[in-house]
Structure 1
């Protein structure tokens, strides 16, 4: 049996940074499910839109915690590495328009 390739380790993050990354990726996932260019049915989009309201508040709360703890800087490179390890590029791609079909 072949094992899947091992993922690179997540960079060291504060708890608040980890929460920020998790909540941001959740919002991306939900937006991807709502994307009318990729949707399969209205019910799935509706459910994702309803959850998006909650997820956006959780994202706001993660940023609020960071701010209140004095974490004023966002280390974009580190957070981008974490999002790549967590499949963020694929997840973000679902928000974009799909390529046009070949003619």
Structure 2
């Protein structure tokens, strides 16, 4: 879907950020898509970031410990950065579940 968005639009090389990536492999899948130039994966838990860095050391994904609510945006690669695609997989997971109880967790 991300690659289709990029190919269908004006972008030739998209930058993506996955906020709250946890131990999801979505950032690795994103970086392998045609048209995706760079992926930054953010999570507030250092152990998640270290785990993913160890699991996918040559993936091309930039894994960073970052808390959107407490940390300053002015750090590379977020400093004056713009992204063509912002992903919140946790929200997507909740939106796609059929169980109403699980969907309420996102409300």
What is the TM-score with the length of structure 2 in the denominator? 0.25
Structure number with bigger Rg: 1
**Which structure dedicates a bigger proportion of its chain to helix?**
1
**Which structure dedicates a bigger proportion of its chain to strand?**
2
What is the TM-score with the length of structure 1 in the denominator? 0.25
Higher relative contact order (CA 8 A, sep 6+): 1
